């Protein structure tokens, strides 16, 4: 018979963990939604700029997935679980304007930029709120904001006239 040693994870400071989770959970959910909506847009984008937008959307999706993972792992490292199941994301993440089917490249970009803007708003709230709670978590969301702003810039540049 094998004996299993169970070492439960507990937060070193439950108040810090709870405060951090309060700010990082919306970020994780928004990033998960951005990844799903970005892939939807990637499959269905149409128009003259197809290949550039198609490939750029894959990078946006990859960046969103990596950032969601980093933010979620921070919450778990502090000893709390995170719920980013599809049903939870659908219920709590901001609604997207990404089309269910084919869409022209400029409409697709506008929809994804709108999704990025919604995540950036949650990220900024986390940056502001974590200033007094957990500077390590704040540093993580500052990095996430930097990448989101870069992705937004790359997409928006296609719309510049």
| pLDDT tens sequence across 39-68 | 999 999 999 889 999 999 999 999 999 999
pLDDT in tens, 90-107: 999 989 999 999 999 999
> Token digits for 97?
């304007």
Please indicate, yes or no, if residue 114 is contained in any of the structural domains. Answer: yes
- Whether the Cβ atoms of residue 126 and residue 23 lie closer than 8 Å to each other: yes
Binned at pLDDT 50, 70 and 90, residue 8 comes out as low
User: Could you tell me the residue range of the domain that residue 74 belongs to?
Assistant: 15-156
H or E element at residue 22? helix 14-44
Hey, which bits of the chain come out as E strands? 45-46, 103-104
Residue in 27, 28, 5, 24 with CA at minimum distance from that of residue 16: 24
Q: What is the SS3 assignment for 158?
A: coil
Number of domains in the chain: 1
Q: Which CATH number is 120's domain given? A: 1.20.1260.10
């Amino acid at each position: 018979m094998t004996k299993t040693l169970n070492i439960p994870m507990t937060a070193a400071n439950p108040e810090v963990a709870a405060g951090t989770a309060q700010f990082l959970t919306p970020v994780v959910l928004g990033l998960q939604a951005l990844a799903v909506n970005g892939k939807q847009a990637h499959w269905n984008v149409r128009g003259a700029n197809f290949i550039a937008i198609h490939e750029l959307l894959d990078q946006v999706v990859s960046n969103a997935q990596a950032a969601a993972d980093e933010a979620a792992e921070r919450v778990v490292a502090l000893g709390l679980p995170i719920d980013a199941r599809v049903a939870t994301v659908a219920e709590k993440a901001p609604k997207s304007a990404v089309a269910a089917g084919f869409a022209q490249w400029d409409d697709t970009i506008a929809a994804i930029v709108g999704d990025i803007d919604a995540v950036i708003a949650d990220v900024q709230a986390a940056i502001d709120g974590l200033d007094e709670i957990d500077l390590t978590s704040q540093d993580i969301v500052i990095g996430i904001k930097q990448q989101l702003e870069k992705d937004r810039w790359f997409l928006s540049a296609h719309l510049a006239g």
